[in-house]
Structure 1
Amino acid sequence: MKKVAIIMGGYSSEYQISLKSGNVVYQFLDVSKYTGYRIHILREKWVYVDDNNQEFPIDKNDFSVTVNGEKITFDVVFNAIHGTPGEDGLMQAYFELLGIPQSSCDYYQAALTFNKRDLLSVLKPYGIKTATSYYLNLGDTIDQEAILNTVGLPCFVKPNKSGSSFGISKVKTKDELLFAIANAYKEDNEIIIESFLDGTEVSVGVINYKGTVTVLPITEIVSENDFFDYEAKYLGKSQEITPARISPEMTAKVSAVAKKAYEVLKMKGFSRSEFIIVDGEPHMLEMNTIPGLTTESLIPQQAREAGISLTDLFTNALELAMNN
């Protein structure tokens, strides 16, 4: 039996969602092959939490835990941390140094994809279309005229490095811009301001499944709110339609772009990319490398549509990690 450390939590606003994802991985782990250990990675502590909610501290020197006098080390790590330090490369680099295989992409790819503006800059030369954007760093002079002349109205103000739509605002008038920027700075010291793309929003999961890069069935996002925000993602304020109501030709086109991005970046593990289709062209918004894994999340929805159970999905991720 292989010992699997399922890391969850993290240091960002997404930690509660991550705990849900990690518990789903624990619930659906193939117990004929793996023994799962829930590891909470939090700012104040790293602990193994057993089924009685008893906590045992993790030794960060070798990522081991001692339970009732027995030292436990892990064969593989399943990374279910959304945001820092699980999605931005820090945990990936740590496990690389320790020589412990883990289920997500490598540290460079994690750091790159977590930074929206760097990711889009790298992909643009490969013909992947994006929104028009304007960048700000904390402390920069805010030239409202220059911003609006570049991106127009309405526009979106986003923290450059965050997830689950924390800190994102849709700005409809000039008067709303400064408030939106201040809101985004609560999550990150870098901001990306993007032009509004009026089209069909879709989410595309790409995984390596049994050695083959595989694009999962596409999900169409229809939000009841102004955009696919936290309420739409997690509180039922949206329709998530899988497969998306787009033509076979457009399905093939979006799938090809998502797969190209995955391969260009030399990705491993899960990715979920968000696109808006405008005038027949998919425009990438971002790529998530630790997407939500609750039973209602998009990747599990797409896997079900493809005939892949959660147990198969998680087993595949662990086997690929150990084979790599």
Structure 2
Amino acid sequence: MKTKVALITGGYTGEAEVSFKSASFVESQLDLEKYDVYPITISLASWFYVNDAGVKIPVNREDFSLTLDDHVLKFDVAFIIIHGTPGEDGRLQGYFDMISLPYTSCGALTSALTMNKGYTKAILADIPELFVANSVLLFDTDRADGARRVQERLSLPYFVKPNAGGSSIGMTKVKTLEELPAALDKAFDAENTGKQVLVEEFVTGREFSQGIFRNAADELIVLPATEVRTTRDFFDFEAKYIPGLTEEITPAELTSEQQERAAQIIKEIYVRLNCKGMVRVDFFLEEQSDRFYFIEINTIPGQTAQSFIPQQVRSYGLKESDFYTELIEAALRPR
């Protein structure tokens, strides 16, 4: 009998558009000889599956089941591909824990923690060979004098970003103090990001993104890194999703020593944060010091054909279908 997979997409933020594209690609790559796949859309209005006739079938939220032709279908595993809330911030994971449905992503606590960039940096700050940029974390109560606090503690230029956002939404590179108030307002007002803002000093260097996952044999696999070179000031939303603005080099041009050092750091990050499934770590390699600086971790990374993880999977020598099989089978292992 085939494994019944709920492929969960959508979400409550502007990242839903990206989530739909990721889910479409994952669905096209899943092994249909092993899995019966049911795309499930989660939105603020409803949770539903669309059958072959185009009819929306609501999800029973008591046990995450569907009623199809008077038959109740229960899933064996959830493949979460929602970027942002509620699929990346631990909310959906907590619900699945309560109904005992296995899923492919990190657990509820890790997912919630890693959506908070400031808290994540605090936990990772003492990992050997990993550095973090000087930063200030601002809460909504700090909004009135946030600019003053930043000026007192950090040196220009700054990166201003929502503390719990994704896809670089609400992010600004600030080069002058006059630009800071508007950048703070933009980050504070970004939808569904918790009204917390992280301001960091700019690190000059090369930017990389690198995936890691735990396979069905319980082995940690570090994928080849991707270097990001963009014509924009930084890797913002437009650079990520508008063709031609960014060059992505996979595998990245790193020395053997740099590759080994990065892999060790990423494994330590994965273990320290108690990650599950696949995650992606973004980092800078500072030009002058050759130090790796942590940017952020993404626990539900993009999965279009052009996204970093599929690029890295192919570079590693795996087919995407085999990679997604590893993730599903790993999720089904007894925890």
- TM (normalized to structure 2)? 0.94
The alpha-carbon deviation at position 50 of structure 1 amounts to 2.8
In 2: Cα distance, 1:225 partner to 1:49 partner: 39
8 Å contact 2:21–2:304 — kept in the other structure?
yes
1:203-253 CA-partner distances (Å, limit 9, x unpaired): 010111232101100000101100011111111211110111121111111
Indicate yes or no: 2:32 matched with 1:22: no
Q: Could you say which residue in structure 1 is the equivalent of 2:238?
A: 231
1:125-176 CA-partner distances (Å, limit 9, x unpaired): 3343111001111131324343123221111000000100000000011111
Q: Could you say which residue in structure 2 is the equivalent of 1:161?
A: 164
Instruction: Note the residue ranges of structure 2 that are not aligned, 5 or more in a row.
Output: none
User: How do 1:264-303 and structure 2 match up within 5 A?
Assistant: 264-278=272-286, 279-303=289-313
Q: Could you say which residue in structure 2 is the equivalent of 1:186?
A: 189
Choose the corresponding residue for 2:259, options 251, 254, 259: 251
In 2: Cα distance, 1:50 partner to 1:180 partner: 44
Q: Could you say which residue in structure 1 is the equivalent of 2:330?
A: 320
Instruction: Find runs of 4+ consecutive structure 1 residues off by over 3 angstroms.
Output: none
2:67 is paired with a residue whose SS is: strand
In 2: Cα distance, 1:135 partner to 1:266 partner: 24
The alpha-carbon deviation at position 305 of structure 1 amounts to 0.2
In 2: Cα distance, 1:15 partner to 1:286 partner: 20
Q: Could you say which residue in structure 2 is the equivalent of 1:175?
A: 178
Q: Could you say which residue in structure 2 is the equivalent of 1:33?
A: 34
1:23-75 CA-partner distances (Å, limit 9, x unpaired): 11111110110000000010101001234443110010110111222211101
8 Å contact 1:275–1:285 — kept in the other structure?
yes
Q: Read off the aligned partner of 1:247 and give its amino acid letter.
A: T
User: How do 1:88-107 and structure 2 match up within 5 A?
Assistant: 88-107=89-108
In 2: Cα distance, 1:143 partner to 1:162 partner: 19
In 2: Cα distance, 1:144 partner to 1:89 partner: 31
In 2: Cα distance, 1:322 partner to 1:255 partner: 26
Q: Read off the aligned partner of 2:309 and give its amino acid letter.
A: I
Give the CA RMSD over aligned residues.
1.1
Indicate yes or no: 2:221 matched with 1:214: yes
Note closer, same or farther for the CA distance 1:163–1:51 as it changes in structure 2 (3 Å cut): farther
Q: Could you say which residue in structure 2 is the equivalent of 1:152?
A: 155
Q: Read off the aligned partner of 2:93 and give its amino acid letter.
A: Q
In 2: Cα distance, 1:247 partner to 1:281 partner: 13
In 2: Cα distance, 1:133 partner to 1:265 partner: 20
Choose the corresponding residue for 1:130, options 121, 129, 132: 132
The alpha-carbon deviation at position 190 of structure 1 amounts to 0.2
Q: Read off the aligned partner of 2:231 and give its amino acid letter.
A: E
In 2: Cα distance, 1:153 partner to 1:52 partner: 57
8 Å contact 1:38–1:50 — kept in the other structure?
no
Q: Could you say which residue in structure 1 is the equivalent of 2:115?
A: 114
Q: Read off the aligned partner of 1:323 and give its amino acid letter.
A: R
In 1: Cα distance, 2:120 partner to 2:298 partner: 11
Q: Percent identity?
A: 39
1:214 is paired with a residue whose SS is: strand
In 2: Cα distance, 1:147 partner to 1:68 partner: 59
Does 255-264 or 145-154 show the bigger shift? Answer: 145-154
8 Å contact 1:133–1:195 — kept in the other structure?
yes
Instruction: Note the residue ranges of structure 1 that are not aligned, 5 or more in a row.
Output: none
8 Å contact 1:81–1:290 — kept in the other structure?
yes
In 1: Cα distance, 2:268 partner to 2:148 partner: 36
Q: Could you say which residue in structure 2 is the equivalent of 1:87?
A: 88
